[in-house]
Structure 1
Amino acid sequence: MEPPPAKKARLPKFTKVKNKMPAEIQITAEQLLQEAAATKLEKPPSAPRQKVTDPGELAALQMQKRKEFEDDIRKNRTMVKNWVKYAAWEETQNQYERARSVYERGLDVDHRSVTIWLRYAEMEMKHKQVNHARNIWDRAVTILPRANQFWYKYTYMEEMLGNIAGARQVFERWMEWEPEEQAWFSFIKMEMRYKEVDRARHIYERFIQIHPEIKNWTRYARFEEQNGFLSNARNVFERATEFFGDDHLDEFLYIAFARFEENAREYERARVIYKHALDIIPKQNAQDLFKVYTRFEKKFGDRAGIEDVIISKRKFQYEEEVKANPMNYDAWFDYIRLMETEGSQEMIREVYERSIANIPPSQEKRFWRRYVYLWIYYALYEELTAKDMDRTRQVYRACLEIIPHSKFTFTKIWLMYAQFEIRQKEVTAARKALGSAIGKCPKPKLFRGYIELELQLREFDRCRKLYEKFLEFNPANCSTWIKYSEVETILGDVERARAIFELAINQPMMDMPELLWKAYIDFEVDQEEFQNVCGLYERLLERTQHIKVWLSYAKFEGSTESDDSVENGRKVYERANNTLKNTSNGEERSMLLEAWRDFEKTKGDQNSLEVVQKKMPRRVKKKRKLYRDDGADAGWEEYWDYVFPEDATSAPNLKLLQMARMWKQTKDDSGSESGGEVEKVDDADTDNSDSDSSGEN
Structure 2
Amino acid sequence: MFGATKDFLGKPAPPGYIAGLGRGATGFTTRSDIGPAREGPTEADIAKLQEQARRKAAENGDDDDERYQDPDNETGLFNTAPYEADDEEADQIYDAIDAKLDERRKSRREAREKEMQEQLNKERPKIQDQFADLKRGLNAVSTEEWENLPEVGNIAGKNRKKANLREKFAPVPDSLLPRAQEEMATTLDAQPNGLTTPAPGTMTNFREIGEANKQVLGLRLDRMADSASGQTTIDPRGYLTGLNSVVVKSEAEIGDLKRARLLLKSVITTNPKHAPGWIAAARLEEHAGKLTDARQIIDKGCVECPKAEDIWLEAARLNNTENAKKILANAVKQIPQSVKIWLQAAQLETTPKGKKTVIRRALDYVPNSVKLWKTAVELEDDPNNARILLARAVELVPQSVELWIALARLETYENAQKVLNAARAKIPASHEIWITAFCLQEANNKDVEKLVANAVKMLSAMESSLSREQWLEEAEKCEKNGFINTCQAIVRATVGMGIEEADRKSTWMEDADNAIGRQSYGTARAIYAHALQTFPSKKSIWRRAALLEKAHGTPESLEELLMRSVNYCPQAEFLWLMGAKEKWVRGNIPGARAILDAAFEANPNSEQIWLAAVKLEAENGEHGRAEILLAKAREKADTMKVWMKSAVLKRQLNKISEALELLDQGLVKYPTADKLWMIRGQILMDRGDTQKARENYIKALKSCPKSVPLWILASRLEEKAGMLTKARAMLDKARLLNPKTPELWLESVRIELRGNNANFGKAQMAKALQECPSSGLLWSEAVWLETRAQRKGKVVDALKKSENSAHVLITAARLFWSDRQVEKARSWFQRAEKADSDLGDAWAWHYKFEVEHGDEARKNDLVMRCKAAEPRYGEYWQAVSKDLRNAGKSLDDILILTAASLPSNTVA
Q: TM-score, normalised by structure 2?
A: 0.28
Q: Which has the higher contact order (CA 8 A, sep 6+)?
A: 1
Larger Rg: 2
